[in-house]
Amino acid sequence: MGKHFTLTASDSHQLGAYRADPAGTPKGGMVVIQEIFGVNQHIRAVCDRLASEGYVAVAPALFDRQVKDYQCGYTPAEIEKSRTFVAKPDWDAMMRDTDAAIKEIKGAGPVGIIGFCMGGTIAFLAATRLSGLSASVAYYGGRIAAFADEKPKCAVQMHFGEKDASIPMTDVETIKQKRSGDCEIYVYADAGHGFHCDERGSFHNASCDLAWQRTSAFLAKHMKK
């Protein structure tokens, strides 16, 4: 459904990206931010799903500064290898690459962003640090608590699993205390980390469906031309 192409960031770094376009006139554009597993089949499927709902969707390859075209699955070995990319994350560089994706699709109408895991944190940071966004959706962003003092410039929605072994509920409470006034924050009692991805053992169908319903309604509300 989609195509691969190249984006250019403000520092002239060129990175790969995946783009999916809707059949008709787009409602707007969505930047889709990867987990630590690259722009893999799951992230491309999210782009395709957003395109089917009327958005131009672009997923920038944020690890291209380290390894070109990195993508993998979810075996223990692949997870371990992927974690090395975020041992010392360069958030500023990832903001530049995310901004390139925002600029790429701004002609489609209002622009939003959605991210998962590492991408959830980036979706929140983009809402606080970048311009041109109408909405931001963060799924289980593990480092959001560290940046929760930053104020978003656009509407933000967050999704967490109560059984997430890598994001303690104390972190979610911190985020709620600091951001509940300007962010929608949802916790799913039966969900763990990665509950949205149907390729992972932690996939939880009911939580995924409810979170996506909320995501779609949120985008419809805030992504108006």
Active site residue ranges: 117, 164, 193
HEC string of the chain equals: CCEEEEEECCCCCEEEEEEECCCCCCCEEEEEECECCECCHHHHHHHHHHHHCCEEEEEECCCCCCCCCCECCCCHHHHHHHHHHHCCCCHHHHHHHHHHHHHHHHHHCCEEEEEECHHHHHHHHHHHHCCCCCEEEEECCCCHHHHCCCCCCCEEEEEEECCCCCCCHHHHHHHHHHHCCCEEEEEECCCCCCCCCCCCCCCCHHHHHHHHHHHHHHHHHHCCC
Report the C-alpha dihedral over residues 133, 101, 146, 39, rounded to 10 degrees.
Answer: 130
